[in-house]
Amino acid sequence: MTTVITARGLRRVYGQGDNAFEAVKGIDLDVAEGEVFALLGTNGAGKTSTFDLLEGLSAPTAGDVEVFGLDPRRDRKLVRPQVGIMLQSGGLPAELTIAETLEMWRGTCSNPTTAAAVLAQVDLTDRADVRVGSLSGGERRRVDLACALLGQPRLLFLDEPTTGLDPESRRATWKLLAGLKAAGVTMVLTTHYLDEAEALADTIAIMHKGRIARRGTLRDIVDEHPARIVFDHPGLELPPLRGARLDPQSRVTVYTHDLQAHLSELLAWAGAHRLRLNGLEARAASLESVFLDIATDETDANNTAETSAPTNDMIGAQL
Ligand SMILES: Nc1ncnc2c1ncn2[C@@H]1O[C@H](COP(=O)(O)OP(=O)(O)OP(=O)(O)O)[C@@H](O)[C@H]1O
């Protein structure tokens, strides 16, 4: 499989001396041709900084990036014509109409399609003569996407492509992106919508504090994360359950890779003691739970997870 993007040991430090801030702390990644790679993360995790490095918009403090086997900064003239970029905020001139904007943008592309073609793709044909400054946030986002598509790119960078779009427009954009993927376009996107990553991405990487905390297919990421059982502490000694924690609100959380077995065990124990477990919840892992655990720095959830059958030294000793 051909690799379109390779990054090794990528670092980005802003400022100098006492003011230096390391936003990207040594990232390795590979994106294959035709792949949709989604970069997720909390605000400030370093996604946009990473994008800037991959796009060649800023120079890495350390490490290497290759796009189509070339340096995106040094070989910009060769790389740029093959790449479409949708920045977080397009910054298009407010006084131009959509049609004028696209014509202006076409002039910067070496192999552009027509403005009419991209307008149809983003469903803005009827709005071609409206000034950009009068558009809604969602419409403006679609103009940004149209500009990114004008050059018929082989590689698309999409920084939060559907932020501000209503649910119907989001679905329409997903459909458009799925069509581009089917046509072989490689995409790297950031998004705060986990369902967007689930719907579009082949590979998901979750960034946290400048590093990639998890990566893989949706299935890989979810499968390696424990499910959880949560309930109010019933006030008597609990059965031996591995990987349990008690929070200050007296809620017990049990992390497990075998939800059914441990839930059955807990319910059997509660039944034998004629106990009602208040606030009982049992949740399989999901992209959201992985994300939230990373975001709240509960990265040791994996470490406390069940790895073998529960033993008697567990919950009582740990709580
Ligand atoms: N030019 C800059 N100078 C100093 N710090 C910066 C600069 N640009 C970004 N940062 C800092 O680097 C960190 C990462 O920012 P970045 O925009 O890459 O995060 P992000 O994951 O894209 O966040 P968001 O989801 O909010 O867009 C943040 O703490 C940010 O304040």
CA angle 99, 101, 107 (to 5 degrees): 105
Please tell me if the CB atom of residue 2 comes closer than 6 angstroms to any atom of ligand 1.
no
- Complex prediction ipTM: 0.96
* 115 CB-contact burial (10 Å; exposed 0-12 / middle 13-18 / buried 19+): buried
Q: What is the pLDDT of residue 77?
A: 93
Q: What is the pLDDT of residue 298?
A: 59
Q: How far apart are CA 259 and CA 265, in angstroms?
A: 10
**Long-range contact pairs involving 280-284 (C-beta distance under 8 Å, separation at least 24):** 280/229, 280/230, 280/231, 281/228, 281/229, 281/230, 281/231, 282/227, 282/228, 282/229, 282/230, 283/227, 283/228, 283/229, 283/230, 284/227, 284/259
pLDDT of 246-266, one tens digit each?
888 899 999 899 999 999 999
Q: What is the pLDDT of residue 165?
A: 87
Q: What is the pLDDT of residue 251?
A: 93
Q: What is the pLDDT of residue 76?
A: 93
Q: What is the pLDDT of residue 90?
A: 66
Give how far Cα 226 sits from Cα of 220, 243, 260, 267, 287, Å.
12, 10, 12, 19, 11
CB 203 within 8 A of CB 217: yes
User: What is the CATH class of 3-221?
Assistant: alpha beta
Please tell me if the CB atom of residue 12 comes closer than 6 angstroms to any atom of ligand 1.
no
State the pTM of this model: 0.85
- Listed in order, the ranges of the chain carrying CATH 3.40.50.300 are 3-221
CA angle 193, 196, 198 (to 5 degrees): 115
pLDDT of 83-125, one tens digit each?
999 988 767 889 999 999 999 999 988 889 999 999 999 999 9
How close is the Cα of 11 to the center of ligand 1, in Å? 13
Pull the structure tokens for residue 275.
């106990």
Q: Which residues of the chain have pLDDT under 70?
A: 90, 298-319
Q: What is the pLDDT of residue 88?
A: 80
How close is the Cα of 5 to the center of ligand 1, in Å? 22
How close is the Cα of 41 to the center of ligand 1, in Å? 12
Please tell me if the CB atom of residue 169 comes closer than 6 angstroms to any atom of ligand 1.
no
Q: What is the pLDDT of residue 193?
A: 92
Please tell me if the CB atom of residue 210 comes closer than 6 angstroms to any atom of ligand 1.
no
